[in-house]
Amino acid sequence: MTVGIKDVAKAAGVSPATVSRALSGGPVSEELRALVAAAVTATGYRPNLAARRLRSQQSGTIGLVVADLRNPFFTAVSRAVEDSAYRAGMRVILCNTDEDPEREALYLRLMQDERITGLIFAPTRTTLDQLGKRRLEFPTVLIDRSSPAGLYDCVVLDNREATAELVRHLVERGYRRIGGLFGNASVTGLERRNGYVAALSAAGLTPDFRLCAPSADAARAELATWFASRDRPEALVVSNSLFLSSAVRAARAAGLSIPNDLALAGFDNETWTELVEPGLTVIEQPVEEIGRQAMALLFERLQTPNLPVRKLVLSGRCIVRGSTAAR
């Protein structure tokens, strides 16, 4: 007889959902993970057999549709998703939309043609607005963007609070004219803008922000104009790592010294943010955890389709470096 997850759960004395989380790299203690591993060995359970049971008449493929692979955030999340899928004996189809709804629609049709088992999805604002009217045909977990009206499982960062933390840090360091640069194509950019506005308003300061297309060239052009104007900020918060690198380049091109002429803070603790001089203050997102949690939610949804919709909100960590030295 084929050994299934329920058999492993019984042998380990835990629930099938716990076994699923342990095997997919989800949030369980090391003690429980070891207990499940021992039960797998004792029962002869094979993850590839579980994958066949999950996919039934489907392809055994996980679809992964992300907004912008140039953004290191999505690169790291994609790696975590692929790792979890590999351990479950499944493959991944990865598509990049560049925040373009037309490309996104094309890739969603591809996922239907491939009869994917489930989807990990970072939708554009346009598609996110439509998801309440047009349900996707496969189990779906959203990443980096919240589900409308609780229709889909999702794993997100607390974007408002993360950006507010950067603003509060700058205020504490003595900065008052704090500008913001945020993406105009994603819900994430708008949530971070809202956190920026709320934190400045709470401090009794006036927000001054720009919205920008999600590309490094667009960000550099926007910042070049801003840095040359009379209303140039004394500190700047940007909403992603592409904008952060663009801000460094634009500041250098304008002859501005960081942090003497411009304090700078943003998102994603990439290696280069520590190596540049001075190091950059950033919010470190739990990118690997986001990918693992998304896959764990998807596997649980495949096992138990009628589970209540779940939303996991994770916190970032503020790493302070020289770019936001006190005035």
How does pLDDT run across 69-126, given as a tens digit for each residue? 888 889 999 999 999 899 888 899 999 999 899 999 999 999 988 889 999 999 988 8
Mean pLDDT score, 239-252: 96
Residue 265: predicted pLDDT? 98
Q: How far apart are CA 155 and CA 294, in angstroms?
A: 6
Tell me the two tokens of residue 20: 């699923």
Q: How far apart are CA 200 and CA 24, in angstroms?
A: 41
Higher pLDDT, 323 or 37: 323
Q: How confident is the model at residue 2 (pLDDT cuts 50, 70, 90)?
A: low
Q: Is 61 helix (H, G, I), strand (E, B) or coil?
A: strand
| Residue whose pair of structure tokens reads 């590309």 in the numeric block | 215
**pTM of the full structure:** 0.77
First to last CA, the chain: 70
| Residue whose pair of structure tokens reads 């460094």 in the numeric block | 248
Q: How far apart are CA 248 and CA 216, in angstroms?
A: 11
Question: Does the pLDDT value for residue 67 go beyond 60?
Answer: yes
